[in-house]
Structure 1
Amino acid sequence: MIENTATRHHQNFLQVIHSYYQLTKPRIIPLLLMTTASSMWIASQGNVNPVLLLVTVCGGTFAAASAQTINCIYDRDIDDQMERTRHRPLVSGRVQPSHALIFAIALASLSFTLLAVFVNLLSALLTMSGIVFYVGVYTHLLKRHNPANIVIGGAAGGIPALVGWAAVTDTLSWAAWLLFAIVFLWTPPHFWALALMIRDEYAKVGVPMLPVVAGNVAATRQIWVYSWLLIPTTFLLSYPLQVTGAVYTCIALILGGFFIKKAWVLLHNPDDKQLARSLFLYSIFYMMLLCAAIVVDSLPLTHQLIISILDLIQ
């Protein structure tokens, strides 16, 4: 029955490609890759090998696409009941679950091979651990059973930062784990803001997101707490680790100030979905700019410019 529906929906090969592309949830992947790239820039002190960057990003892309595809397979029953997900390829019948699983396995295999052969084994193993954690721990064990799903699941989102560092150095330093921690702490405010926006849909399908099981007030309090855990943590890259400099610190301070302000306003208006949406969108913008600040700060040109400015001042 699903096969006939898929045949009816796909009128040409390009539509088939588009359906499989949608399975990977492509809007999520770029943010993950930015953490990988920024980690590589710090680890290489602003002199990242472009070929290494390209191969690592491609490997990360395939791995993330594999994990998201398996997530779509697992969640197709609840996706069918939620407005924002009911048009996904598996729910609408444009792709069969068995075909999607083959696609996911192929992507994971390609990712591991690419990283193990052209980068190093550590980065390949970390990438596979990210898939296993996202699918096995977050999607299977936590998402439908525990309101701490997003908190613990945030570890999967932090793994790309570890992959980037390992790709350059073949080791994991304190700086790499701090980048992991930044993403880990960023994840709850980001996703709980989304959960506040679509609380009714999560309640409808029985997913115990924090706003559903504890209410909006408790959720906004937790967003406030995690925001205050996140922002100071970002400065640890500058001190005591000293892997970033003044440019990153200034940008992180400004971005963090706006993050705290938005969390504060939401704390006092927990039922305002527009404020929740504002924080959700800003959290994406925040992580993108923080990663960009890391890259700019690590460039040799930036260091030379700062030295020149200091010389002029003196």
Structure 2
Amino acid sequence: MLKKYLFLTKPGILFGNFVTTLGGYFVATQGFVDFLLLLLTLLGTTLVVASGCVVNNVIDQDIDQKMQRTQNRALVQKTISVPVALAFALVLGVIGFGILWFWVNAYAFLFAVIGFVVYVGFYSLWTKRTTIHQTIVGSISGASPPVIGYTAVVGQFDMGALLIFLGYAFWQMPHSWAIAIYRFDDYKNANIPILPVARSIYRTKIESFIYVVLFTLTMNALFIYGYANWIYVIILNALCIYWLYLGVIGFKAENDQLWAKRYFLFSVLLITIISISFSFTSTLPANPIVFF
């Protein structure tokens, strides 16, 4: 039974957000880690994300029963009831938000709220079912955890936070579209108007390439503005060049699903390596630009 509740929180998404929260935190620390603050930030963020994922499962029951990879979820199989799932989400959310508010800071709490509201309200309840722009909306919630990690340390929204937000949001686009190409039939059967289904796989490959370029430029800006060193630049660009290469060979792929799986898996590896690399490549900018 505990396993069913764990899977209700979508462990894969939790891990991804755990890693990106680490990345944002490490950018801000410049190698000097307050482990208690790190633990509280990771715990609070993970619980908030888990709460949002449980609510998403409740909202997506009708979609999940049409998709092969989600047909066995607990809510679809009725092994967990909707009221129980919502109560579970409430407990997770209250604890997560409480940790961020009382033991981290108001900035971390604010961006957790933004990520939750966008994911549950604007993405799950609205755009996922109605527009090809759903992925852009979802990227806002996906880019919130690294900003939570960053602002937990610095207690302000500055150029570093902005670049992190934009960079991780740009990364979300090709990453998410790769899943949609790989699971094309599932998304088509569920009538989800994501880009490869609503338009074409070819157009998706073009737009994915553009977003990888935007991601590369934005993340390089962290070095330009003094938030990372040369080691970071080498790691980042080596990974991004290979991601761009995968995008190019995708136009000649004989099997789009196999290519998309490879493209997706590399996107996960790339963001994990970059996020962890900040633990030894981040630097203190001379004159940080503070917005609020």
Deviation, 1:159, is 0.6
Is residue 278 of structure 1 aligned with residue 262 of structure 2? yes
**Residue 43 of structure 1 pairs with residue 15 of structure 2:** no
Equivalent residues in 2 for 1:138-177, closer than 5 Å: 138-177=123-162
TM-fit CA distance, 1:191:
0.9
C-alpha distance in structure 2 between counterparts of 1:30 and 1:154, whole Å: 16
Displacement of 1:125: 2.3
Which residue pairs with 2:238 in the alignment? 254
CA RMSD of aligned residues (A): 1.4
User: For residues 51-75 of structure 1, what are the alpha-carbon distances to aligned partners after superposition, in whole Å with 9 as ceiling and x for unaligned?
Assistant: 0000000001100100000000000
Alpha-carbon offset, residue 222 of structure 1: 1.0
Contact residue 238 and residue 244 of structure 1 kept, 8 A: yes
Residues of 2 paired with 1:255 and 1:273: CA distance?
Answer: 22
Task: Give the superposition deviation at 1:278.
Answer: 0.6
State whether structure 2 residue 217 is matched by structure 1 residue 225: no
Structure 1 residue 122 displacement after superposition:
2.0
**Counterpart Cα distance in 1 of 2:22 and 2:254:** 35
> What is the CA distance between 1:298 and its match in structure 2?
3.1
Unaligned runs of 5+ in 2: 285-292
- TM-score, structure 2 length as denominator? 0.94
Amino acid at match of 1:88: R
Question: 1:243 aligns to what?
Answer: 227
CA distance in 2, matches of 1:230, 1:298: 18
Task: Give the conservation status (yes or no) of the 8 Å contact 2:22–2:276.
Answer: no
Which of the numbers 176, 180, 200 marks the counterpart of 1:215? 200
Output the amino acid matched with 1:264: V
Distance (Å, rounded) in 2 between the aligned partners of 1:255 and 1:83: 32
Deviates most, 47-56 or 266-275:
266-275
Gaps of 5+ in 1: 1-15, 301-314
Q: CA deviation at 1:268?
A: 3.1
Letter in 2 for 1:94: T
- 1:220–1:270 CA contact under 8 A, matched in 2: no
Q: 1:270: how far off?
A: 7.7
For 1:284-295, list aligned pairs within 5 A. 284-295=268-279
1:136 aligns with 2:121: yes
Q: Deviations over 1:142-163 (max 9, x none)?
A: 1010011112210101111111
Quick check: 1:73–1:90 contact (8 Å CA) kept in 2?
Answer: yes
CA drift at 1:296 = 2.1
* Cα distance, 1:17 vs structure 2: 1.3
Q: 2-side partners of 1:126 and 1:187: how far apart?
A: 17
- Determine the structure 1 residue equivalent to 2:290: none
Q: Distance in 2 between matches of 1:75 and 1:172?
A: 33
Q: Return the offset for 1:31.
A: 1.5
How much identity, in percent, do the aligned residues show?
29
Cα contact 1:262–1:279 (8 A) shared by 2:
yes
- TM-score after normalising by structure 1: 0.88
Structure 2 counterpart of 1:294, one-letter code? F
Counterpart Cα distance in 1 of 2:256 and 2:104: 47
**Cα pair 1:216 1:271 within 8 Å, conserved:** no
**Given the alignment of the two structures, is residue 180 of structure 1 paired with residue 165 of structure 2, yes or no?**
yes
Query: In the alignment, is the contact (CA less than 8 A) between 1:23 and 1:69 conserved in 2?
Result: yes
Could you tell me how far 1:176 is from its partner in structure 2? 0.9
State the SS of the aligned residue for 1:155.
helix
Letter in 1 for 2:281: D
Q: Is the 8 A contact 1:76 1:90 kept in 2?
A: yes
Alpha-carbon distance between aligned partners in 2 of 1:172 and 1:278, rounded to the nearest angstrom? 35
Render the CA deviation track for 1:203-246: whole Å, top value 9, x for unaligned: 1111001111111111111111111111121111101x111001
Distance 1:43 1:201 in 2: 40
Find the counterpart in structure 2 of residue 3 from structure 1: none
Question: Does residue 196 of structure 1 match 2:186?
Answer: no
Structure with greater Cα Rg: 1
Higher relative contact order (CA 8 A, sep 6+): 2
